[in-house]
Amino acid sequence: MSLLEKTLSEIKPLDKEAIEKAWERLDNLTKPIGSLGRLEEVAAQMAGITGKVHNSINKKNIVIMCADNGVIEEGYSSNPQNITEIVTNNFTKDITGVYVLAEMVNSGMTIIDIGVNADFNNKKIINKKIAYGTKNMAKESAMTKEQLIQAIEVGIDTIDKLAIEKVDLLGTGEMGVGNTTTSAAILTVLSGLSIELTVGKGSGLTEEQFKQKKKVIEKSIEINSPIKEDILDVMSKVGGFDIAGLCGCFLGAAKNRIPIVIDGFIASTAALCAYRLCKYTRDFMIPSHLSKEPGARYIMEELNLEPYLNLEMRLGEGSGCPLAFNVVEAALTVINKMGTFEQASLDKNDYVDIREDELCNEENHSGNSKELFFDKPENAISNVNIKVYKSERLLELYEGDKLIRRFKIALGTNAIGDKEKEGDKKTPEGEYYICTRNYKSKYTLSLGISYPNIKDAQNGLNEKLIDKSTFNDISQAINNKKRPPWNTTLGGEIMIHGGGNSKDWTWGCIALSDEDIRIIWDYVPNGTSISIYH
C-alpha cells in the first residue's frame, strides 16, 4: 500500500461528541448566547479535530511548496522564471511578506523545493525536488502520474514529520511563477466554468498578456483532455508540483488530526484537490482570507467554507495564514478562559439565543449554490424527490418512483402532530419543496423547507393566527416557488440539516448525521419536492 493510499484510509471524521461538549460550554459562557459568532464555530471545530473541549496552540508552522511551471514557456507571464528561485531563497530571510507575518505570530516555516528549476545551497530549504519544473502543459501533460503521486506524498511526509515535532497548527503557502495558471486550469476542468470566471491576472498582467493567459489555459485543457471525474488525471495533466505537494499537506493534516489553514488561490486549489480525494479533509481546513483571484470564491463555495477575512490580498506565499492563526487562538482563548453564567452569578434564562440558522441571502444565494458555480452537484440525479416518515424517523430519497437512499433522522422535541405555530417544536406535515440552501450552516449544511405552505396558511387564517395580507404573501411565494415568509406567527426556518443523532432535539427541523446531509446536499437542488407524513 502506498503512502497516499494508506493516508486516505486513515482519515476519519470530526469527533461529534467533542463538538457537542464544546457547544455546551460555549452556550454557558457569560455572554449573550451565540454573540461571539464565528469565533465559537472555530472553537467547536477545534474540539472536533482534537477530541478535546479545551485546546491550546503550542507550535505553529507554515509549509511553503516551491516549484516552477513549464507552461510559462508560452510567454504570457510578466515575471521571468528565475523569480521562483529568487523568492524561494528570500523566504529564508526577514524580507518577505510571509516571513515577517509568521515572525509576528511566532510561527515556524518549512520551505520545500519540490520542483524549482534551480539548485539551492541553503540549509533552510529542504530538497524534495521531483523535477526541475513541470513540462509545458500547453504541449503535453505537466507531469506523469508517478510524479504526481510522489509530489502528493512529499506533502504527506512533510506533515507526518511536523506532527512528530508536535506542531499543532499548520499553514499552507507556495511559490512558483505560473501557478495561478495551473490553479485556474484545474478549477476550470473540475467546475466546468468559463475561463472568464476562473482566470485572474495573478501577479500582474497587461490586457494582452491576460488574453494570452486565457488562451494558454484553453489550449492546455484541449490538448490534454483531462477527465474531470479523475482528480489525479486532472492534476497530472494541468497541475503543478506545488499544488500537488500542498494537496498532500491537507491530506496529511487530516490524517494527523491537525488544523490546517488555507491561504490564497493556489492553496485553495490544492485544498479542493484534497477534498476530491477525501471529503473528510474539509473538516480540518480553516479558510484564512478570500483571495482577490476570481476563482477563489468558487472553490470556497465547493468546499462549503467561508473565509474569515476579506482583505483583497493576492500575494500568496502563505501570507494569509498568520492572520488566521490569530483567529484560531482568539477562539481558543474564549472557550478556555471565559467564565460561565454560574461563575458570574447570572441566570442563563435571562438571555435569548441570538443565533439564527444563518440562511443564505436569497438575492445572493438563490437556487442551488453548487449549480451556480459547478455544472451540477457531484451525484446529481434526475426527477429527485424526498419522502419523510415522522413516526418511523426515516427520510427516503427517490428518483421518480425508485428508492435511492434511506436515512435515519431526528425531529422536533414535540414531534407528534402537525406544526401549527411558532415555537410548538413540531415538524410540519404535508407537501413542500426545498426553497433555500445554506452551505455555512451551524449544523454543517442545511436545506430550507417551504413551510408554511398554502394549506398551513389557510389553517392559520382560520385560527386567526395570521391576517389576510400575510396569507396572501405566503400564497404568492408558494405559487412562485419562492421561500415563504418565515417571520410570522406560524413559524418558519424549518430545515433539513446535519447534527442529527438518535434523539429528537430540534425545534421542528429534520436532522440527519453530518455525513448523510453531505450526501443529500449533493443530490438535491432547490425546487425538489418533499412530502412529510405522520
Co-location of 368 and 488 in the same domain:
yes
Q: Which residues, including other chains, have CB under 8 Å from residue 472's CB and lie 6 or more apart? A: none
By the 8 A CB rule, do 306 and 278 touch? Answer: no
Structural domain ending residue among the three candidates 267, 300, 327: 327
Is 123 in the same domain as 199? yes
Residues 394 and 492 in one domain: yes
Same domain, 389 and 277: no
Which letter does DSSP use for residue 339 in this model?
P
Tell me what pLDDT residue 370 has: 35
Asked if 32 and 80 touch (Cβ cutoff 8 Å), the reply is: no
Starting from the edge strand earliest in sequence, which strands make up the sheet with 529-533, in order? 402-408, 394-399, 384-389, 529-533, 430-438, 446-449, 495-497, 510-511
The vertex-154 CA angle with 150 and 160, nearest 5°, equals 135
Is 345 domain-assigned?
no
Catalytic residue among 273, 321, 360, 509: 509
Which pLDDT score, from 0 to 100, does residue 201 have? 82
Claim to verify: residue 405 and residue 262 sit in the same structural domain: no
Residue 36 falls inside a structural domain: no
**Residues 180 and 321 both lie in one domain:** yes
Instruction: Identify whether residues 224 and 373 lie together within a single domain.
Output: no
Q: Is residue 338 part of a domain?
A: no
The pLDDT score that the predictor gives to residue 206 is 86
Looking at 284, 311, 327, the residue that finishes a domain is 327
Same domain membership, residue 244 and residue 186: yes
Answer yes or no: is 383 within a domain.
Answer: yes
Do 152 and 276 lie in a common domain? yes
Residue 8 lies inside a defined structural domain of this protein: no
- Of the residues 40, 41, 153, 317, only one is catalytic, namely 317
Residues of the chain with pLDDT under 70: 352-381, 502
Which residue, 204, 193, 199, is CA-closest to 216?
199
- What total number of domains does the chain contain? 2
pLDDT the model gives residue 521:
87
Known active-site residue 509: yes
Residue 51 placed within a domain: no
Pair (321, 381) in one structural domain:
no
Pairing of strands 430-438, 384-389: unpaired
Task: Look up the domain containing 296 and give its range.
Answer: 58-327
Residue 317 bears catalytic tag: yes
Q: What DSSP designation does 108 have?
A: E
Q: What are the Cα distances from residue 203, in Å, to 77, 177, 179, 342, 525?
A: 9, 9, 10, 54, 37
Q: How far apart are CA 90 and CA 79, in angstroms?
A: 16
Q: Please answer whether residues 70 and 25 qualify as being in contact, where contact means their C-beta atoms are separated by less than 8 angstroms.
A: no
| CATH number of the CATH domain containing 75 | 3.40.50.10210
Q: Is residue 302, in this structure, part of any structural domain at all?
A: yes
3-class SS at 431?
strand
Task: Tell whether 112 and 173 lie within a shared domain.
Answer: yes
Whether 380 is covered by a domain: the verdict is yes
Rounded CA separation 512/407 (Å): 7
Are residues 377 and 478 part of one domain? Answer: yes
